[in-house]
Amino acid sequence: MAKAILYDASKCTACRACYVACKQWNVLAAAEVKELGTYYNALTLDGTTWNLIDFIEKDDPDRFRWHFISHRCMHCGDPSCANVCAAGAITKDSETGFVLIDNDKCLGCKNCHYACPFWEGVPRFRDEISEAEEEWMDHGNKVPGKRVASTMYKCRGCVDRVKNGLEPACVTTCPPDALQFGDKGEMLSIANARVALLKERGETKAQVYDPKGVGGTGVIYVLLDDPEVYGLPADPKVSTADMVTKWLTGLITAGILTIVPFWMVFKAAEAEGKGGE
Amino acid sequence: MTNHWVDLKNSDCIVIMGGNAAENHPMSFKWITKAMEERGAKLICVDPRFTRSAAKADIYAPLRSGTDIPFIMGMINYVIENKKYHEEYIKCYTNATLLVNPEFKMPGDLNGLFSGYDSTARKYDRATWAYQTEDLPDEKAPGGIIHSPKRDMSMSDPNCVWQILKKHAARYTPEMVEKICGTPKDKFLEICEEFSKTGAPEKAGTICYAMGWTQHTVGTENIRAFAMLQLLLGNIGRPGGGVNALRGEPNVQGSTDHALLFHIIPAYLAVPKAGDTFRGYADKYTVDKATKDVLPGSISWWRNGEKYLVSLLKEWFGDAATADNGYRFDWMGKIGGGFQGGGYSHIALFEAMYAGEIKGMLCLGQNPAVGGPNSNIETAAMENLEWLVDLNLWETETNSFWKRPGCDPEAVQTEVWRLPAADSCEKDGSISNSGRWIQWRWKGCEPLGDCKTDLEITDLIMKEVKRLYAEEGGKGAEIINNIYWDYSGPNGDPDVVEVAKACNGYTWPDRNKLVKNFTKLEKDGTTACGNWLFSGTFTEDGENLMQRRIPEAEGIGNNLEWTFAWPVNRRIVYNRASCDLEGKPWNPDIPEIWWDPNKVDAQTGKPGMWTGNDVPDFAATKAPSAVGGDLPAIMLNEGVFKLYAPCSEGPLPEHYEPVESPVENIMSGQQINPATVLWHEVNPDTKIGTADEYPIIGSTYRVTEHWQTGIMTRNQPWLVDLMPEMFVEISKELAGEKNIEPGETVEVFNARGSLQAVAIVTGRVKPYNINGKTVHFAGLPWCYGYAGFCTGGACPTLNYSANQLTPHVGDANTMIPEYKAFLVDIRKVK
């Protein structure tokens, strides 16, 4: 049965233990950031940052709000990234539903990045493997997944933990239980019950975010306001219609690809009957 | 905490004030969130700025830093005026009914002062604050007489505490609160209304506070004011209630329990003063606690203090301590007045060091060059040391004070030793959390290289000191030679289990039999115990109860088989007050304890015992109907909780402005706490600024991502990612006035120093309207410095520590520095 991570923005205190737990479990180097005058700083999702918390100040008429939201891979039911992957490196894990990148197959073309409708494109390119990771692996230690230079990276749902009976690292560490993990049906019913409770207590805009346009998501949000307030698309679609433009942009950026993957993409898209949505 | 972390889930209303639980105690939100979700508990947050705690709150109200007393006294006034109090509770369980000396005068009568003030000494003569007493016979009391406070159960006598409190609180109207605190009146009243709902007998509300209350010149009174409010609403001793200090370091409760403070010796016995004799000191417990201000039947547990003192002296001096020599009380260190009569607090010690009166410092578990107030003065003071021994994991600002910006290392003659210490994960031992749970932890890995545990280092130093005294003699050699010091384990190394057993206590002289708990400690020298509150952490058979990890299957969250909590595994203290006069829980849905008339006492065979979901905080077989069966405050002479309690600056909280304040005190002509030590009058280098020069309120705080002075976290790149640089949080309005852009580097400065910080311009900080005057706020994290992986900014010479700006002035009772309210100004860096 498909699994899901439930992130409840109404419970999150933005302590960011999820960020550190992810870095630790997945052996990911620190980012290089500068204080830019917000708590968010210059953090963005990147090859070594697979989740982060954004801070959003909003002056509602009745009260001042400080919203928190977890940026991370949504593990779509129908993942655009997998659909457009030139190398067939992105698959949905049949057991958990997590969307995984096989870094041995990945060509680093960034198609997936441009196709992703969330968080300005979740999969991010890494051109090198850090010394810290090399050193870690040189000592015979393992890292979750594989580390290959010039390929794409993102959240793997801690699939290795999950298959060994553990929760994803971020979920395990979350102090206020704003992150929960389980079968998707169960997570949805928890989310729906929570939203009903929030509405009853006056949070009129409380809602579950599990957008149908991408086949539902493996990361479900409980939100206190409209998705756009949090930087989420209200109605994301599987990325195909504008894919060519995006893909070409990616192609120029990457600057290394040939016609072959281009052909492969369209062949794959046609085969799956998703050419014209 | 009177209660504990898990118990937060039992609350109906949680106030976060003087603290920032979401950011600094993230785990508290596991239980707060549960209370909100499952019980519909309301969360109220009152803070000078909109914090991550405020983001989760149902109601947020701003208040100007340093004005908690008017806010809380205003709440007390609201509760009294609107009769929201729990009448039976205050009548029977508090000193509301007790009569005070008719000569007692209050700030309303004396322009901000209580009766008995000596303006030269800046101290009070407390004679007029005393209770009216009468002598009553009591066969258990030494001398057969107790001096008992007179009581008026109708609470109508003009000199009873209730009438005094009403009169005092009436001055704190909602309008006055708005003028002083800058809190909009409607928000204030909304909070009053919500929290006072917990005055209903079946409801309970709690307060989560931290350094936002303590770190003021009126810190003690801030906390006491809310304790009084909790008493009025009947919230003490109750599941979901209490007065809960969320402690900022995992073992700071343990450090207090073991007396890493100058006013106490282990387990909260008073520190002996110069001139004290064994008998005189012991009688302060044995006689005073049993006779002075004692209501009939009051348990007044401190009357046992002599047993704990003697057992402690036996642990310290072993066979050398005998009844004939007063158990070598004369060998104990004793305190005088301290430097310039200012005591032995952190500030006083550094003032003494600055004046050249302290030659050496052994520094462990802290980093005063970043954490201490007025750090430019304190690091300069360190230059007067002949030697500094510093135990730490890292190069810290303290052990590299001679490298600080602006210091010429060649001019510093101090000899500095750095002893590499082990991390908490690298050693076995107990830590005591805020809820008094003493939890054993096991070593996760061996310390790196030559790093040693604090115990090993202390043991090595002590053994070497003993060797030197034995071989060479010296002043006090007899004392050093006779200190009992054998905590070796099976392999000869110091063993933390042996230390823990010494804290539990055992019989003397055989040292073989662990005592069951502190009720078995004696004053005749037949027991030794290093800390009476830790007595009971082992069973008599040697089982270490601190290692238990059994979650409760059913119950109210007390988890009695999960580790051990002091005292005697009790989770909620003063829990007699969770029941009504007959011994039935005020809230039957969350029963803490109750009187069971049928339960048979195994020792006597008689029916009638206290029982329930916790260890009763009362004499187990003392019936509610017995004399004193309704006196729940077992640690106080009176047996009732104190709404009125003499402290340095008075027996009731009164508003005084911070020593550095942008406004005049509109409550009275007394601007600042009249009993605070004014160090700037002793040492002119310890400067105090004025609002004309520095009009903005500065305040310091922690962030989730860094811990204390940042030594552990600034060397951790993942955490540095999250909070990379020194910042200052200011309002959009102030940024506009000063032409400051978000993310721009600005200079924050005052009479004591200057630092650079990145401006966070935010809607979470708003200017206050203080009695018609616009007052701005600048919030500064205090976790950055000049040593380590991350120093806090692009330029380590300009932006290192918020404490360069904080003043050398402290609370009148505890002397904790006023880190939370001082004056600064801000300008753009060009």
Task: Assess whether B359 and B323 both reside in one domain.
Answer: no
Q: Is it the case that residue A256 has pLDDT exceeding 60?
A: no
The pLDDT, as a whole number, for residue A219 is: 98
Q: Is A251 exposed, middle or buried (0-12, 13-18, 19+ CB in 10 A)?
A: buried
Q: Is it the case that residue A260 has pLDDT exceeding 50?
A: no
- Mean pLDDT of all residues belonging to chain B: 96
Place of tokens 């602006």: B406
Q: In B, which residues are within 8 Å of A57 by CB distance?
A: 762-764
Q: Is it the case that residue B584 has pLDDT exceeding 60?
A: yes
Q: In B, which residues are within 8 Å of A20 by CB distance?
A: 718-719, 722
Range scoring the smallest mean pLDDT among A39-43, B185-189, B242-246, B480-484: A39-43
Q: Is it the case that residue A277 has pLDDT exceeding 70?
A: no
- The partner residue sitting opposite B718, judged by closest CB among A30, A34, A41, is A30
Would you say the C-alpha torsion B139, B140, B141, B147 has a positive or negative sign?
A: negative
Token representation of residue B140: 């258990």
The pLDDT, as a whole number, for residue A242 is: 53
pTM of the model: 0.95
Contact residues, chain B to chain A, C-beta under 8 Å: 22-23, 26-27, 29-30, 32-33, 37, 40, 50, 52-56, 60, 704-705, 717-727, 742-744, 758-764, 793
Task: Assess whether B385 and B525 both reside in one domain.
Answer: no
Nearest residue in A to B728, CA atom: A37
Domain span at B806? 679-828
Cβ–Cβ contacts within 10 Å for residue B348, how many? 23
The pLDDT, as a whole number, for residue B799 is: 62
The pLDDT, as a whole number, for residue A34 is: 76
Is residue A276 included in any domain, yes or no? no
In our burial notation (b when 16+ CB lie closer than 10 A, e otherwise), range B789-806 reads ebbbbeebebbbbbbbbb
A30/B22 touch (CB, cutoff 8 Å), yes or no: no
Q: What is the pLDDT of residues A60-81, one digit of tens each?
A: 988 999 999 999 999 999 999 9
Q: Average of pLDDT values for B92-110?
A: 98
Question: Is the bond preceding residue B174 a cis peptide, omega within 30 degrees?
Answer: no
Is residue A277 included in any domain, yes or no? no
Task: Assess whether B414 and B513 both reside in one domain.
Answer: no
Q: Comparing C-alpha atoms, which of B823, B575, B525, B503 is closest to residue B10? A: B575
Q: Average of pLDDT values for B238-256?
A: 91
The pLDDT, as a whole number, for residue A273 is: 41
Nearest residue in A to B717, CA atom: A30
The pLDDT, as a whole number, for residue A250 is: 58
Task: Assess whether B702 and B813 both reside in one domain.
Answer: yes
> Which of A244-253, B527-536, B799-808 has the highest average model confidence (pLDDT)?
B527-536
Cβ–Cβ contacts within 10 Å for residue A40, how many? 17
Is residue B514 included in any domain, yes or no? yes
Task: Assess whether B188 and B87 both reside in one domain.
Answer: yes
> A35, A65, A199: best mutation site toward chain B, by most B Cβ within 10 Å?
A35
Total length of chain B: 830
Q: In A, which residues are within 8 Å of B762 by CB distance?
A: 57
B529: number of CA atoms within 13 Å, CB side?
A: 36
- The partner residue sitting opposite B721, judged by closest CB among A31, A63, A201, is A31
The pLDDT, as a whole number, for residue A62 is: 87
Counting residues of chain A whose pLDDT is more than 90, the rounded percentage is 74
Task: Assess whether B121 and B59 both reside in one domain.
Answer: yes
Is residue B649 included in any domain, yes or no? no
Place of tokens 């003392």: B622
Nearest residue in A to B766, CA atom: A64
Q: Is it the case that residue B94 has pLDDT exceeding 90?
A: yes
Task: Assess whether B315 and B168 both reside in one domain.
Answer: no
Whether the CB of A30 is below 8 Å from some CB of chain B: the reply is yes
Is residue A58 included in any domain, yes or no? yes
B33/A11 touch (CB, cutoff 8 Å), yes or no: yes
CATH classification at residue B704:
2.40.40.20
Strand B264-265, strand B360-364: pairing: unpaired
Nearest residue in B to A27, CA atom: B718
Rounded CA-CA distance B574/B458 in Å is: 37
Task: Assess whether B157 and B306 both reside in one domain.
Answer: no
The pLDDT, as a whole number, for residue A133 is: 86
Rounded CA-CA distance A259/A64 in Å is: 52
The pLDDT, as a whole number, for residue A33 is: 77
- The partner residue sitting opposite B26, judged by closest CB among A17, A57, A194, is A17
Rounded CA-CA distance B582/B625 in Å is: 7
DSSP three-state, residue B312: helix
Domain span at A200? 1-271
Place of tokens 């009993």: B675
Is residue B45 included in any domain, yes or no? yes
Is residue B488 included in any domain, yes or no? no
Q: Is it the case that residue A241 has pLDDT exceeding 70?
A: no
Rounded CA-CA distance B564/B549 in Å is: 10
- Mean pLDDT of all residues belonging to chain A: 89
Q: Is it the case that residue B162 has pLDDT exceeding 80?
A: yes
Token representation of residue B53: 């705690």
Q: Average of pLDDT values for B604-633?
A: 97
The pLDDT, as a whole number, for residue A40 is: 83
Q: Average of pLDDT values for A31-45?
A: 82
Whether the CB of A172 is below 8 Å from some CB of chain B: the reply is no
Cβ–Cβ contacts within 10 Å for residue B812, how many? 25
Token representation of residue B92: 């029977």
Task: Assess whether B817 and B693 both reside in one domain.
Answer: yes
φ and ψ at B446, to 5 degrees? -75, 150
Whether the CB of A15 is below 8 Å from some CB of chain B: the reply is yes
Place of tokens 């679609």: A237
User: pLDDT band at residue B793, thresholds of 50, 70 and 90?
Assistant: confident
Q: Is it the case that residue B129 has pLDDT exceeding 60?
A: yes
How many structural domains compose chain A? 1
Interior angle at CA B321, CA B526 and CA B476, nearest 5: 160
How many structural domains compose chain B? 4
Let me know: does A79 contact A72? Beta carbons within 8 Å.
no
CA distance readout (Å), B86 to B90, B92, B204, B232: 6, 10, 11, 6
Q: ipTM value, please give it.
A: 0.95
Q: In B, which residues are within 8 Å of A178 by CB distance?
A: 33
Q: Is it the case that residue B699 has pLDDT exceeding 80?
A: yes
Rounded CA-CA distance B548/B564 in Å is: 8
Domain boundary among B214, B248, B282: B248
Task: Assess whether B33 and B113 both reside in one domain.
Answer: yes
User: pLDDT band at residue A271, thresholds of 50, 70 and 90?
Assistant: very low
Q: What is the pLDDT of residues A204-213, one digit of tens each?
A: 999 999 999 9
Q: Average of pLDDT values for B182-190?
A: 98
In our burial notation (b when 16+ CB lie closer than 10 A, e otherwise), range B319-338 reads ebbeeeebbbbebbeeeeeb
Task: Assess whether B17 and B117 both reside in one domain.
Answer: yes
> A8, A25, A48, A66: best mutation site toward chain B, by most B Cβ within 10 Å?
A66
Q: What is the pLDDT of residues B390-439, one digit of tens each?
A: 999 999 999 999 999 889 999 999 999 999 999 999 999 999 999 999 99
CATH classification at residue A229:
3.30.70.20
Long-range contacts of residues B181-185, Cβ cutoff 8 Å, at least 24 apart: B181/B63, B181/B64, B181/B67, B181/B70, B181/B71, B181/B768, B182/B62, B182/B63, B182/B64, B182/B67, B182/B768, B182/B769, B182/B770, B182/B775, B183/B46, B183/B61, B183/B62, B183/B63, B183/B71, B184/B61
Task: Assess whether B105 and B214 both reside in one domain.
Answer: yes
Minimal C-alpha gap between B435 and chain A (Å):
17
